[in-house]
Structure 1
Amino acid sequence: MKAAVVNNFEQVPQYQSFEKPQPQTKEQLIQVRAASVNHRVQSQADGTHYTSDGKLPFIPGLDGVGQLADGRLAYFVTSNPIYGSLAEQTVVDHRRIIPLPSDIDVNSVAASMNPAMSSWMALKSRLGTDINSKKIMILGATGNSGSLAVEISHYLGAKSVVAIGRNRDKLAKLTAEKTISLLDEPAKLKQEIKEVADVDVVLDYLWGDAAKQVMLALLPARSNHSQSLTWIEIGSMAGADLVLPSAALRSINLNLIGSGQGSIDPKLFLTELPALAQLISQGKFNVDVEAVPLDQVTSKWNLKTDRRLVFNP
Structure 2
Amino acid sequence: MMMKAAVQAGSGVDLREVPRPSPGPDEVLTRIHAAALNRADLGMAAGHRHGTAGGAGTVLGFEWAGEVVEVGSRVTRYKPSDRVMCEGLGGFAEYGVADHRRVFPLPRDGLGWREAATLPVALRTMHDALVLNGGLVAGETVLILGASSGVGLMGLQIARLMGARTVLGTSTTAERRARLTEFGATGTVDTTQEAWAERVRAATDGRGADLVIDMLSGPGTTETMRATAICGRIVNVGRLAGARAEFDFDLHALRRIRYIGVTFRTRTADEVGAISRAVERDLWPALRSGGLRLPIDRVLPLDDAPKALEEMAGNLHFGKIVLDCA
Counterpart of 2:167 in structure 1 is 161
Matches within 5 A, 1:1-313: 1-8=3-10, 10-11=11-12, 13-48=13-48, 51=51, 53-69=53-69, 70-78=80-88, 84-100=90-106, 101-128=108-135, 130-173=136-179, 174=181, 175-184=184-193, 186=194, 189-195=196-202, 196=204, 197-215=207-225, 217-218=226-227, 227-262=230-265, 265-275=271-281, 276=283, 279-280=286-287, 282-289=289-296, 290-303=298-311, 304=314, 305-313=317-325
- In 2, the alpha carbon distance for the partners of 1:44 and 1:63 equals 14
The runs of 4+ residues in structure 1 deviating greater than 6 Å are: none
CA contact (8 A) 1:142 1:166 kept: no
User: How far did residue 293 of structure 1 move?
Assistant: 1.4
Q: TM-score, normalised by structure 1?
A: 0.85
Q: Render the CA deviation track for 1:79-132: whole Å, top value 9, x for unaligned.
A: xxxx6111111122223222224421110121233234322221221145x521
The DSSP-based 3-state class of the residue aligned with 1:14 is: strand
CA contact (8 A) 1:40 1:49 kept: no
Q: Render the CA deviation track for 1:151-171: whole Å, top value 9, x for unaligned.
A: 210111112112222122322
Unaligned 5+ segments in structure 1 are none
CA contact (8 A) 2:211 2:233 kept: yes
The DSSP-based 3-state class of the residue aligned with 1:296 is: helix
CA contact (8 A) 2:200 2:209 kept: no
- In 1, the alpha carbon distance for the partners of 2:37 and 2:284 equals 18
Specify whether residues 86 and 182 from structure 1 end up closer, same or farther in structure 2 by C-alpha distance, changes over 3 A only: same
Specify whether residues 269 and 261 from structure 1 end up closer, same or farther in structure 2 by C-alpha distance, changes over 3 A only: same
The DSSP-based 3-state class of the residue aligned with 2:35 is: strand
User: How far did residue 32 of structure 1 move?
Assistant: 0.7
Specify whether residues 92 and 281 from structure 1 end up closer, same or farther in structure 2 by C-alpha distance, changes over 3 A only: same
- In 2, the alpha carbon distance for the partners of 1:262 and 1:251 equals 32
The DSSP-based 3-state class of the residue aligned with 1:119 is: helix
The alignment-based identity, stated in percent, is 21
User: How far did residue 194 of structure 1 move?
Assistant: 4.0
Counterpart code for 1:180: V
The alignment yields a C-alpha RMSD, in angstroms, of: 2.4
- In 1, the alpha carbon distance for the partners of 2:96 and 2:324 equals 13
- In 2, the alpha carbon distance for the partners of 1:49 and 1:141 equals 26
Specify whether residues 307 and 180 from structure 1 end up closer, same or farther in structure 2 by C-alpha distance, changes over 3 A only: closer
Q: TM-score, normalised by structure 2?
A: 0.82
- In 2, the alpha carbon distance for the partners of 1:252 and 1:194 equals 14
Specify whether residues 28 and 177 from structure 1 end up closer, same or farther in structure 2 by C-alpha distance, changes over 3 A only: closer
CA contact (8 A) 1:72 1:102 kept: no
Unaligned 5+ segments in structure 2 are 70-79
- In 2, the alpha carbon distance for the partners of 1:145 and 1:92 equals 20
User: How far did residue 249 of structure 1 move?
Assistant: 3.0
Q: Render the CA deviation track for 1:226-272: whole Å, top value 9, x for unaligned.
A: x4211001111211123112212332211101222146621322212
